[in-house]
């Protein structure tokens, strides 16, 4: 149709319902608040500050995001590879406007980004472009061998000057590394360190987040 040809969105994705945005945002804030007080974190503070001994307030360090979402396909108004094909996919059309239940299984923090890992169901994977993980192989060797859907995440915040696209790359990079050392049992789950300022908290109980499959034009 004319609509498809002339106006593809900036991206398609699952948009958290507003009450869920508040819940996820608060959980992330609580995590950041606790993380920067842990001795294990302070030991590696230089990853964030460039200086030992210096303190960091992670809540201030990251600029938090508003429209919390899990991008499925970045279309860049049709300029991105595969954008038109994605928009035409019957599953995409059929699912448009439907509410899904996303499972957030981990929170991760790096000196660049903070995000939530999303573990997609078989049904949700039908909306996930099959080549997503392969596209980052050049920058992140090993990412193409990860299971399809490994990049699925919600960007919760970025350090000053960092673009949100970095969050998915940070997640893929963590997933290509050997499992980090378990440094702390927190209320929410176990915290692992992956060197170079990369932290991942596997949630004891995944957060169930209702989200509408839709698109964003900007
Ligand atoms: P993410 O999905 O990690 O949050 P921007 O504001 O920079 O235009 O980005 C809009 C959204 O599209 C963000 O959610 C962002 O990252 C995602 N995004 C931006 N560029 C890309 C890309 N090259 N590949 C995949 N997702 C992207």
| pLDDT tens for each residue of 62-109 | 999 889 999 999 999 999 999 999 999 999 999 999 999 999 999 999
Average pLDDT for residues 156-161, to the nearest whole number? 97
What integer pLDDT is reported at residue 48 of this predicted model?
93
HSE-CB for 10 with a 13 A CA cutoff? 5
Residue 144's Cβ-count burial label (10 Å; 0-12, 13-18, 19+) is middle
CA of 47 to the centre of ligand 1 (A): 25
Could you tell me where the beta strands, DSSP code E, fall in 67-119? 69-74, 99-109, 113-119
Active-site residues, by number, are 69, 153
- Residues of the chain with pLDDT > 70, as a percent, come to 97
Instruction: State what percent of residues in the chain have pLDDT above 90.
Output: 92
Atom in ligand 1 nearest the alpha carbon of residue 167: 3
The whole-number pLDDT of residue 100 equals 98
Average pLDDT, integer, range 7-11: 94
The pLDDT of residue 7 is 87
Phi and psi at 175, nearest 5°, equal -70, -20
Q: Is 194 within 8 Å of 106 (Cβ atoms)?
A: no
Whether the CB of 110 sits within 6 Å of ligand 1: no
Give the pLDDT band of residue 218 (cuts 50, 70, 90). confident
Q: Give the Cα separation of 151 and 136 in Å (integer).
A: 10
pLDDT given at position 79: 94
Closest approach atom of ligand 1 to CA 71: 2
User: For the whole model, what pTM was predicted?
Assistant: 0.96
CA distances from 90 to 75, 86, 95 (A): 17, 9, 8
The pLDDT, as a whole number, for residue 6 is: 63
Ligand 1 centroid, distance to 74 Cα (angstroms): 6
> Could you give the ipTM of this predicted complex?
0.97
* Contact predicate 73/82, CB 8 Å: yes
């Amino acid at each position: 149709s004319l609509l498809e040809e002339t106006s593809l969105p900036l991206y398609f994705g699952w948009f958290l319902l507003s009450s869920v945005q508040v819940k996820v945002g608060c959980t992330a804030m609580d995590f950041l608040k606790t993380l920067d007080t842990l001795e294990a974190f302070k030991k590696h503070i230089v990853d964030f500050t460039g200086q030992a001994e210096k303190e960091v307030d992670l809540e201030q360090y990251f600029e938090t995001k508003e429209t919390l979402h899990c991008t499925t396909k970045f279309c860049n108004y049709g300029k991105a590879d595969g954008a038109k094909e994605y928009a035409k996919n019957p599953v995409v059309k059929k699912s448009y406007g439907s509410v899904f239940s996303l499972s957030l299984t981990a929170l991760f923090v790096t000196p660049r980004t903070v995000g939530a890992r999303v573990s997609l169901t078989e049904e949700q994977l039908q909306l996930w472009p099959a080549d997503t993980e392969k596209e980052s192989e050049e920058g992140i060797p090993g990412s193409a061998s990860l299971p399809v859907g490994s990049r699925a995440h919600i960007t919760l915040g970025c350090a000053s000057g960092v673009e949100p696209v970095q969050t998915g790359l940070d997640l893929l990079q963590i997933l290509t590394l050997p499992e980090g050392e378990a440094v702390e049992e927190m209320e929410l789950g176990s915290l692992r360190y992956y060197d170079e300022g990369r932290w991942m908290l596997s949630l004891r109980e995944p957060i169930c987040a209702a989200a509408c499959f839709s698109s964003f034009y900007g």
